[in-house]
Chain A
Amino acid sequence: MAESRLETVDMFINMGPQHPSTHGVFRMVLTIDGEQIVDMKPHIGYLHRGVEKLAEGLRYREVTVLLDRTDYLAALNNELPYVMALEKLLDVKVPERAEYIRVLVCELNRIASHLMFYGAFGADAGATTPFMYAFRDREEIQHFFEAVTGGRLMHNYFRVGGVRYDLPEDWRERLTKLIPHLRKGIVDCERLLSDNEIFLNRTIGVGQISAADAIDYGLTGPNLRACGVRLDLRRDQPYSVYPKLEFDVPTRSRGDCYDRYLLRVEEMRQSLRIVEQCLEQMPDGPSLGEVPRVIRPKEGEVYVGTENPRGEYGIYLVSRGGDYPYRVKVRAPSFCNLMALNEMMRGCYIADCVLILGSIDIVLGEVDR
């Protein structure tokens, strides 16, 4: 019997936590058949620092420091729901100027975060220049942040009842210079990738997910809107001064990598519109309201969800009296969005899997917390 003893078996390949395109320390164990993926098992937790538990040992004012370190690409957006939750518990009024400042920096942070996505996504697709373009423009935003908050990444800027510092004296000049710069930057970015035939081939129809599935998996933010579901907490559960501002909530219909990409580019434009309106409408007045010296909220619990660049970032805050929060639960959008990864990756190529992961735009600091 001359029977061949050779048989083909699927190959396991371990991608991450040390891999250039897992966006941090995400790990995937891929079962591959040639170039195609048969199965994918995600592993998370390499960046777990126990932020939620640590928060229970800090005074109310100190918690923002930790939240900065969850989604470190959009630190200001994370501080917002926490201070809003605390204000609800304490029943503190926030001066209008402070609200405008918050929205202004949050939207700039959204642009910075989306630019980071743009650069990383380009790098995942194998292009080297998008990253440099994105960082050129992101740097300008960082300069503005440096002037406003004193920090580049970890701002610790929002306070109960307002913001830590008022805007710097020359903020109007800085911003009027920054806005056209960003507008041009976005155009540059688009011209580099959006119509590139190779890029289109790589992304259209890749990692597709239907609107129904997206809702079932609990996707939020750009990932959900790319499937055609028009859900944006800034519009649907209006908070802060968003009702006074004019902006569109863009959606796309296919729910593939390309739509997720294009949607974020469009969102940058909308955020820029909001920033412009903030510049025009910025009222005078104090930037920090009347807040009790010692923060000791009454017993109770509150949930506040806000629109983070990645989706619904929610804080569930429980107080049992006293100086320390009893529980700070973070509803992390990246973590929830990651749930749909397996669905998106069904039957794709190895090259696609990198792109799909990039298109979800996760931040491991927030997934693992």
Chain B
Amino acid sequence: MPEWVESIIRVAIAIGFVLTTVLVLIWLERKVIGHIQQRLGPMRTGFHGFLQSPADAVKLLVKEDIIPAAADRWAFQLAPALVFVPIFLTVVSIPFTRTLVVRNLDLGLFYVFAISSISIVGIVMAGWASGNKYALLGSVRAGAQMVSYEIPLVFSILGVAMVAGSLNLETIVDAQRGLWYIVLQPVGMFIFLVASLAELNRTPFDIPVAESEVVGGPYVEYSGIRWGVFFLSEYANTFIISALAAVVFLAGWRGPLLPGWLWFLIKTYAIILIIFWFRATLPRLRIDQLMTFAWKLLLPLAFVNLLITGLYLVYDWPRWILFVASVAVLAVASRLVYVVGRA
């Protein structure tokens, strides 16, 4: 088999996997949040509503495709693809196990962030092209938010890259033999989770799509499968970010007894469930508070994390010092949240 055929098959499998995962995630979120809110969630389609997502997908496919008269036709039609494609491209370098990976890149970590940040363009484009003021407001919010949070996100990962000495995701997992990076980089993990929530536009950072304010933001004019594509990309992104966190901080496929891919899925879904849990619990921040939080708290915190990680590497401290120092930093920061937030 020539190499290019094999590549295509691998990519097709990866995309197929992510698409099915998205359907499961949508169902899972509705069930989880339903039960948190003391109701059942979808129950009618299939066993415990398991077929709800496919049913929704079919519904979206057969819906009429409406392009508003005020919209910029080409940009409006192009925007969903611009959001969708980069997110699916990032799947390429996520290692499910050592062998289950489309292509292991030496700059894997860098690649994921570089590609996924393109999708912001699509969102801003969607908002602008809709010819709707709510959409415009939402997309401007999205632009401001996602650009701001990209920075702490990248800096949070930098600590891991320093400790592991590589940007190759496989090497990073191998470096976690015996000790997961959640122990060495708790600050990094914290910043990563918070900032990626903002990247995903999820509660409590769902400001760009806030239903009670801008009624769905950039997506307000979209209907049918175009809207479906945005929806799909959002959940695909949730999965990828969680998978990345599992790989980088929770040692990916490493774990006793169970096969590697199962460990990987368990860790990924644990993080996904935490994200769902946030959604059911927290109200939404205001845009200025969001910015304050990113620039005055998360970014300095990321720098402090880099500093202590650097000191640990230079002076060859034992690992427990890094752990204790990180926890101390986290404790101070959790107090600072209140001070900075209230100001």
Contacts and interface: CB of A to CB of B under 8 A. Distances in A.
- Is chain B found bound to chain A in the same assembly? yes
Interface of A: 11, 13-14, 19-21, 35, 122-129, 132-133, 136, 192-193, 196-199, 201-202, 349-352, 354
Interface residues on B, range: 20 to 34
Contact of A201 (B141, B211, B285): B285
Given A126-B283, A133-B37, A196-B283, 9 more contacts: A13-B133, A19-B215, A35-B288, A126-B203, A126-B206, A132-B39, A198-B283, A202-B289, A351-B207
Interface string B107-134: 0000000000000000000000000011
A122 B212 CA distance: 10
A35 B284 CA distance: 16
Question: Do most interface residues of chain A lie in helix, strand or loop, or is the interface mixed?
Answer: helix
Interface string B199-210: 000011011001
Residue from the set A11, A20, A123, A126 with the largest chain B CB neighbour count within 10 Å? A126
A21 B212 CA distance: 5
A129 B210 contact: no
Interface in B245-293: 279-289
B67 interface: no
Residue from the set A19, A129, A349 with the largest chain B CB neighbour count within 10 Å? A129
Contacts of B214: 350
B134 A13 contact: yes
B342 interface: yes
B284 to A, nearest CB: 3
A132 B41 CA distance: 12
Contact of A202 (B37, B206, B283): B283
A197 B212 contact: no
Question: Do most interface residues of chain B lie in helix, strand or loop, or is the interface mixed?
Answer: helix
A193 B284 CA distance: 12
A196 B137 CA distance: 27
Nearest to B282: A198
Interface string B330-343: 00000001100110
Interface in B287-343: 287-289, 337-338, 341-342
A201 B286 CA distance: 9
Contacts of B236: none
B202 to A, nearest CB: 11
A133 B289 contact: no
Residue from the set A13, A128, A192 with the largest chain B CB neighbour count within 10 Å? A128
Contacts of B211: 20-21
